[in-house]
Amino acid sequence: MHYTISGQGPIVILIHGLFGDLDNLKALGKELETTFTVVRVDVPNHGTSPRISQMNYLTLADDMTKLITDLCGQYGNQKVTLVGHSMGGKIAMATALQHPDLVNKLVVADIAPVSYHSRHDNVFAALESMPLEKINDRRQALTHMQNAGIDDGTAQFLLKSLTRTSNGFEWKLNLQGLKNSYPDIIAWPNFDSAYQGPCLFIRGGDSDYVTAAHRDAIMSQFPQVTAKTIAGTGHWLHAQKASIFNRIVKNFILE
């Protein structure tokens, strides 16, 4: 798993969501690195991490556990704080549930420990139909995304994973691997245990990813949870109101 390290102090690992990369939470990392050792990861099949044909939260939690163990050995820490957005939040939760002895605190941004219905079919279709060998610049790529029914904000986010090569453009994302794994990405495994450590859930006030219907699932698996809502934000709350989001996360970790 590819990652970057900055700052010094107790370790905080930042985990991005689906179709993203380690730069998604870069602003939060900058906020934290004055006090913490900040580790930003590329989840497998994203950024420059390995491409794999199948991924699920049990195997991703195993990958994260190996990283935590290595980092703690390297930096002399015993536990880390995990911060994850969307899919990254599920990876963080799965890791905390499987190995609570390695997790000091947990921050989950706009996702619940539940299974979701498919909601990215149009995104996969737009990405797969991109004429990579024909486009000459990002403007043409953006036009393609818009014509495929992707809103501007989502399109700009997705196009961060488009990279120019000597032969044209290609996706840093492993689209086939993500598509193969998508049923597992929107699902949630059954865990026998609960994470008893401090946990913060932050949701976007305009998002439907975390609702009152998810309360019991959250409380049963994370009984020490506290919750915050950032008004006027959707699923991309960490980008839409970055200063508020970053302050909430930092204050919680420092408590």
Q: How far apart are the C-alpha atoms of 195 and 204, rounded to whole Å?
A: 23
SS3 134: coil
Please tell me what DSSP assigns to residue 178.
H
Catalytic annotation on 235? Answer: yes
SS3 217: helix
Strands 3-7 and 11-15, how do they pair? Answer: unpaired
How far is residue 145 CA from its own chain's centroid?
22
Token code pair at residue 134: 């024909």
Q: Which of 49, 86, 181, 207 is catalytic?
A: 86
Token pair 């086939």: residue: 176
Token pair 């060998």: residue: 133
Catalytic annotation on 86? Answer: yes
Token pair 């932050």: residue: 202
Query: Looking at the annotation, which residues are catalytic?
Result: 86, 235
